[in-house]
C-alpha cells in the first residue's frame, strides 16, 4: 500500500467511543486521521495531539467543509446521527455512523436515501459484524454446522450511572437500554435468523421515562430468540446459537468476541480469532474496501440490514411505549 494512498478520516464528536475508534485507526496501515471536530476547541486540540492528527476544528460544519477529509465517523449521541450523517453526505463525504442509526425508522430511511442521492458510501458502525470470530461463526452457522437453527439467546447488560441527566437517562437524546445496547442482541438474532414474524417485548422504566430493562422474544417460523438488555445488572454478555445438530457459543463478551465454541455430541471445539486492537479496526477496514471498490454500501452490513434492524427496534420502541 502506497503511503500517499491512505484513506483520510475525520471524526465528529470527541467522547468515549471516538477515543476507542481513533486508537484502533492508528493500527490500520492505509488509514490516516486527517481532522477531528468538537464543539469545544480545547477538546479538539487535545484529541488531535493525542492521535497525531494535523487538524482540529471547533465546529462540526468546519470538518464537513474540509476538502481533505474523505470519510467522516459520526460519534455523537443517537439523536444527532441522522442530521449529521446527512450533512456529511451532502458535503460529499463517505460516512461511518455509530449505532443506532437513528431514533426513528423514517430518519434511517432519510440517511440511506442521502447516501444514494449523493452517491457516497454509508454504513452503520455495527462493528461486531466485521470481527474475525463473528464472521467465522456466522459462516459456519449459515453452512449448517449446527443443523437448523431453533433457538438463540443473547444479552447485553451493565450497571450504568443513572444519576442525573446524561445520554443514557435523557429521553430527548434517545436514552435507555434498548437503543444504546439492546440493538446488539437484536442484531445477532436478525443476522442469524432474519426478520421475525412476531415481536413480544416488556420493559421497566427509569424516572425519566427511558427503559432500564427490556426483555424481548422474537418469534420465527421455526425458531425463537430470547433477548435481554439492561442498565442495572452486572454483565453476563452471553450469546448462544442452538440448532438441531449442536450449538455455537461466542466467547463473552460476545459482541466483541475473540473466539467461539462449537458444541456437538457432548464435544466442545474451541476456536480463537483475535481482533486487531479492540476490534473497531475491522469495520474501518471494511469501509476502506468498499470506498476503494466504489461501493456505497457494504455487502456484510448493507443499507437494507440497517433498515431491517431499525424497523425491529422501532417496533419494540412502540410496543414498550418509549416517548421518543
Ligand atoms: N460501537 C460501540 O462499541 C459504541 C460504544 C459506545 C458508544 N457507542 C455509540 O456512540 C455514540 C456516542 O457514545 P459515547 O459513549 O461516545 O458518548 P459520549 O462519551 O457522551 O460522547 C459523545 C460526544 O458527542 C458530542 N455531542 C454532540 N452533541 C452532544 C450533546 N447534545 N450532548 C452530549 N454530547 C454531544 C460530544 O463531543 P464534543 O463535545 O467533542 O462535540 C460528546 O463528547 C452513541 O450513539 C453510542 O450508541 C458505540
For residues 102-125, average pLDDT: 98
Nearest to 239 by CA among 256, 222, 223: 256
Domains in the chain with CATH codes: 3-127+280-299 (3.40.50.720), 129-277+309-320 (3.30.360.10)
| pLDDT tens-digit map of 142-152 | 999 999 999 99
Our mutation pick for probing the ligand 1 site, out of 59, 167, 301, counting the most ligand atoms within 8 A of Cβ, is: 167
Residue linked to cell 468538537: 38
State percent of the chain over pLDDT 70.
99
Cα-to-centroid distance, 80 and ligand 1 (Å): 10
Contact present, 180 and 78 (Cβ < 8 Å): yes
Please write the tens of the pLDDT for every residue from 30-86: 999 999 999 999 999 999 999 999 999 999 999 999 999 999 999 999 999 999 999
pTM for this model (two decimals): 0.98
Cis peptide before 276 (omega within 30 of 0): no
Residue 2 has pLDDT above 70, yes or no: no
User: What's the CA gap between 263 and 320, in Å, rounded?
Assistant: 35
Mutate to test the pocket of ligand 1, among 16, 81, 182, 183 (most ligand atoms within 8 A of CB): 16
How many Å apart are CA 141 and CA 241, to the nearest integer?
8
Three-state secondary structure call for residue 152? strand
- Residue with the smallest CA separation from ligand 1 atom 26 is 76
What is the full DSSP assignment across 28-80? -TTEEEEEEE-SSHHHHHHHHHHTT-SEEESSHHHHHT-TT--EEEE-S-GGG
| Ligand 1: nearest atom to the Cα of 180 | 47
Distance 117 CA to ligand 1 centre (A): 27
* Interval 167-186: pLDDT, tens: 999 999 999 999 999 999 99
What are the cell numbers at 256?
466483541
Ligand 1 center to 13 CA (angstroms): 6
Query: Would you state the pLDDT for residue 100?
Result: 98
pLDDT at 141: 98
Minimal-distance CA residue to ligand 1 atom 18: 15
Residue closest by Cα to atom 8 of ligand 1:
17
Q: Which three cell numbers stand for residue 129?
A: 459484524
Write the DSSP symbol of residue 274: P
**Arithmetic mean of pLDDT over the chain:** 97
Mean pLDDT value across residues 253-268: 97
> 49 vs 45, 63, 169, 272, 285, CA distance in Å?
6, 17, 32, 35, 23
CB distance 277 to 259 below 8 Å? no
The three cell numbers locating residue 195: 426478520
Between the CA of 271 and the centroid of ligand 1 the distance, in Å, is 33
Pocket mutation for ligand 1, best pick of 96, 98, 278 (most atoms within 8 Å of C-beta):
98
Amino acid at each position: 500500500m502506497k503511503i500517499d494512498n491512505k484513506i483520510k478520516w475525520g471524526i465528529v464528536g470527541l467522547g468515549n467511543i471516538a477515543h476507542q475508534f481513533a486508537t484502533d485507526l492508528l493500527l490500520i496501515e492505509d488509514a490516516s486521521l486527517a481532522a477531528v471536530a468538537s464543539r469545544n476547541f480545547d477538546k479538539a486540540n487535545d484529541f488531535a495531539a493525542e492521535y497525531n492528527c494535523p487538524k482540529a476544528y471547533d465546529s462540526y460544519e468546519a470538518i464537513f467543509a474540509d476538502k481533505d477529509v474523505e470519510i467522516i465517523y459520526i460519534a455523537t449521541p443517537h439523536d444527532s446521527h441522522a442530521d449529521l450523517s446527512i450533512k456529511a453526505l451532502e458535503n460529499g463525504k463517505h460516512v461511518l455512523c455509530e449505532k443506532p442509526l437513528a431514533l426513528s425508522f423514517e430518519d434511517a430511511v432519510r440517511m440511506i436515501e442521502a447516501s444514494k442521492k449523493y452517491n457516497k458510501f454509508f454504513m452503520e458502525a455495527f462493528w461486531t459484524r466485521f470481527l474475525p470470530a463473528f464472521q467465522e461463526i456466522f459462516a459456519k452457522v449459515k453452512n449448517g454446522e449446527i443443523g437448523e437453527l431453533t433457538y438463540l439467546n443473547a444479552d447485553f447488560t451493565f450497571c450504568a450511572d443513572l444519576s442525573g441527566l446524561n445520554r443514557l437517562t435523557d429521553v430527548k437524546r434517545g436514552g435507555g437500554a434498548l437503543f444504546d445496547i439492546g440493538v446488539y442482541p437484536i442484531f445477532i438474532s436478525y443476522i442469524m435468523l432474519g426478520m421475525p414474524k412476531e415481536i413480544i417485548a416488556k420493559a421497566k422504566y427509569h424516572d425519566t421515562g427511558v427503559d432500564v430493562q427490556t426483555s424481548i422474544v422474537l418469534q420465527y417460523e421455526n425458531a425463537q430468540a430470547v433477548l435481554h438488555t439492561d442498565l442495572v445488572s452486572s454483565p453476563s454478555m452471553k450469546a448462544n446459537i442452538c440448532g438441531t445438530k449442536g450449538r455455537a457459543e461466542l466467547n463473552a463478551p460476545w459482541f466483541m468476541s475473540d473466539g467461539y465454541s462449537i458444541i456437538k455430541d457432548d464435544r466442545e471445539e474451541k476456536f480463537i480469532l483475535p481482533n486487531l486492537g479492540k476490534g473497531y479496526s475491522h469495520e474501518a477496514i471494511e469501509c476502506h474496501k468498499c470506498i476503494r471498490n466504489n461501493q456505497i454500501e457494504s455487502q456484510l452490513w448493507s443499507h437494507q440490514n440497517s433498515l431491517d434492524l431499525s424497523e425491529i427496534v422501532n417496533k419494540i420502541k412502540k410496543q414498550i411505549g418509549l416517548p421518543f
